[in-house]
């Protein structure tokens, strides 16, 4: 194994834009030394690591899981196994193409493997977190699988109990979690109404299976949703955007609908800079509408829920894995960059250029590319 490189967040910034300009740095990285690793550890040479919204907002402490700098970002990654400890089992071997479970290794995990983020030439993970890539997915697709589709499963299945024939309104449908939710809702037999700010991005959402797409800002959301549902309103809202669209959505639902709170991409500054708590809360829902419409408002934190109830994970993981193995879900990745171009990748994520996934590809320097997997 030769010397590589990794991205490091040196200090948390005031907000994500300041973080992109000042907090990240690229530095040389010696390959991990097997003599210092555990007997059930695995060394992965990273080929592709996702650049997620969470990686971005984490760098200014705007994410609930607060990292202490310096740390290497990269919640999810995929690559080639380069070393396997003697007690790692036989489910992976040197040379295998693998993905790593971001809840067990990397910045979103808890404990010893948190420091091995995927924006690096190499990472170390416990064997229990390392899996051969299913369903012929590419490295770029594999590092956009578990987090996004497990979140979609948690929201739509575990929390939302979406039934065949129901209508689901999905906001932020061009995003990583939104596009996964579109695909999962279709697998569940729902009719999908997807929203977004860009017609070009919504064309991809439609190609991914959405039955109807709505460009927000064209006409009042309520009129468009009511027209598509015969005046009735939707059964379920999947909201990863927050802010104004949440308020509008409460007027687009049938009586007794489920309102799934997945995120707040439109109002990301929840901390008062550098992770200090106390910023004004931009996401407030009116209780009078919730009461009069008999709504079930359901928070859907995919990772936090596991910490409280580990039994939620095995069926969720197994179902996502089956769908991927059977070719029913395929993450869409609109942007890929060499690791040297991490700032361009972060800017693309922040400015909303990305559709679905964005990845960094560590290793030998290559020109930044825009690829579609």
Q: How far is CA 187 from CA 138, 164, 191, 327, 342, in A?
A: 22, 9, 10, 12, 34
d(CA 65, CA 109): 9
Residue 120 CB burial class (10 angstroms; 0-12, 13-18, ≥19): buried
- Judged by beta carbon, residue 37 or residue 203, the one nearer ligand NAP is 203
Binding to ligand NAP by residue 264, rule CB under 6 A? yes
Q: Say which residues have a Cβ less than 8 Å from residue 275's Cβ, sequence separation at least 6.
A: 12, 60, 61, 62, 66
Of 52, 72, 224, give the one whose Cα is nearest residue 144. 52
Is residue 352 part of the contact set for ligand NAP (CB under 6 A)? yes
Q: Which is nearer to ligand NAP, 139 or 264 (CB)?
A: 264
Supply the minimum distance, in Å, between the C-beta of residue 303 and ligand NAP: 6
Smallest separation (angstroms) from ligand NAP to the CB of 229 = 21
Closest CA to 346 of 84, 81, 16, 10: 16
Minimal distance, residue 6 CB to ligand NAP, in Å = 22
151: contact with ligand NAP by CB under 6 A? yes
Locate all alpha helices (DSSP H) within 237-341, ordered by sequence: 244-249, 287-292, 302-308, 313-325
Q: How many CB atoms lie within 10 A of CB 49?
A: 34
241 binds ligand NAP (CB under 6 A): yes
Please pick, from the candidates 29, 234, 302, 345, the single residue that binds ligand NAP as defined by CB under 6 A: 302
Residue 181 interacts with ligand NAP (CB under 6 A): yes or no:
no
Using CB under 6 A, pick the residue from 18, 157, 247, 266 that binds ligand NAP: 266
Stretch that binds ligand NAP, among 37-45, 193-201, 248-256, 327-335 (CB under 6 A): 193-201
Stretch that binds ligand NAP, among 3-11, 24-32, 195-203, 226-234 (CB under 6 A): 195-203
Whole-angstrom distance, CA of residue 114 vs CA of residue 137: 25
CB of 83 or CB of 259, closer to ligand NAP: 259
The vertex-4 CA angle with 3 and 10, nearest 5°, equals 120
DSSP letter assigned to residue 192: E
The three-class DSSP label of residue 362 is coil
Measured CA to CA, the distance from residue 39 to residue 199 in angstroms comes to 51
Cα 282 to the chain's mean position, in Å? Answer: 22
For ligand NAP, give the closer residue by CB, 126 or 196: 196
Residues 233 and 293: their CA atoms lie apart, in Å, by 11
Find the shortest distance in angstroms from Cβ 133 to ligand NAP: 21
Residue 159 as a binder of ligand NAP (CB under 6 A): the answer is: no
Query: Can you give the length of the chain in residues?
Result: 373
Binding mask 7-46 for ligand NAP (x = CB under 6 A): ----------------------------------------
Question: x-or-dash pattern for ligand NAP, window 200-229, by CB under 6 A?
Answer: -x----------------------------
Measure the CA–CA gap between 274 and 15, rounded to whole angstroms. 7
DSSP-derived secondary structure letter, 311: G
Closer Cβ to ligand NAP, 80 or 247, answer by number:
247
Judged by CB under 6 A, does residue 51 bind ligand NAP? Answer: no
Question: If binding is defined by CB under 6 A, does position 317 make contact with ligand NAP?
Answer: no
Provide, rounded to whole angstroms, the least separation between the CB of residue 3 and ligand NAP. 32
Residue 345 found at the interface with ligand NAP (CB under 6 A): no
Rounded least distance, CB 216 to ligand NAP, Å: 7
CA distance 19 to 35: 35
Query: In this structure, what are the phi and psi dihedrals at residue 151, rounded to the nearest 5 degrees?
Result: -65, -45
Shortest Cβ distance from residue 202 to ligand NAP (Å)? 7
Among 5, 12, 53, 335, binds ligand NAP (CB under 6 A): 53
Distance between CA 21 and CA 328 in Å, rounded?
A: 39
Interface with ligand NAP includes 174 (CB under 6 A)?
Answer: yes
Query: Is residue 52 a contact point for ligand NAP (CB under 6 A)?
Result: yes
Q: Interface residues with ligand NAP (CB under 6 A)?
A: 52-54, 151, 172, 174-178, 196-198, 201, 240-241, 262-266, 300-303, 352
């Amino acid at each position: 194994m030769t010397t590589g490189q990794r991205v490091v967040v040196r200090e948390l910034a005031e907000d994500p834009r300041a973080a992109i300009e000042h907090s990240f740095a690229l530095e040389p990285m010696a390959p991990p030394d097997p003599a210092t690793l555990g007997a059930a550890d695995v060394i992965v040479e990273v080929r592709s690591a996702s650049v997620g919204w969470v990686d971005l907002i984490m760098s200014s402490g705007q994410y609930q899981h607060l990292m202490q700098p310096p740390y290497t970002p990269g919640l999810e990654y995929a690559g080639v196994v380069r070393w396997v400890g003697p007690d790692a089992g036989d489910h992976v071997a040197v040379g295998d193409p693998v993905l790593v479970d971001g809840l067990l290794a990397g910045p979103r995990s808890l404990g010893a493997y948190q420091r091995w983020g995927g924006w690096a030439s190499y990472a170390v993970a416990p064997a229990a977190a390392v899996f051969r890539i299913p369903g012929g997915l590419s490295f770029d697709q594999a590092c956009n699988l578990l987090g996004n589709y497990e979140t979609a499963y948690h929201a739509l299945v575990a929390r939302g109990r979406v039934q065949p024939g129901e209508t689901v309104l999905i906001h932020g449908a061009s995003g990583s979690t939104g596009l996964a939710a579109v695909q999962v809702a279709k697998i569940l037999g729902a009719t999908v109404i997807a929203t977004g700010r860009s017609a070009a991005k919504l064309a991809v959402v439609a190609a991914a299976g959405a039955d109807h797409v709505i460009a927000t800002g064209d006409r009042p959301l309520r009129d468009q949703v009511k027209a598509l549902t015969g005046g009735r309103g939707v059964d379920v809202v999947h909201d990863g955007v927050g802010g104004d669209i949440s308020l509008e959505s409460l007027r687009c639902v049938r009586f007794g609908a489920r309102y799934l709170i997945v995120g707040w991409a439109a109002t990301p500054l929840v901390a008062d800079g550098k992770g200090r708590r106390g910023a004004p809360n931009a996401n407030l829902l009116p209780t009078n509408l919730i009461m009069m419409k008999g709504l079930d408002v359901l928070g859907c934190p995919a990772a936090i829920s596991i910490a409280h109830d580990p039994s939620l994970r095995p069926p969720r993981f197994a179902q996502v894995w089956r769908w991927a193995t059977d070719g029913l879900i395929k993450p869409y990745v609109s942007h890929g960059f060499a690791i040297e171009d991490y700032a361009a990748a972060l800017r693309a994520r922040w400015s909303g250029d990305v559709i679905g996934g964005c990845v960094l590809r560590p290793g030998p320097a290559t020109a930044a590319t825009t690829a579609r997997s």
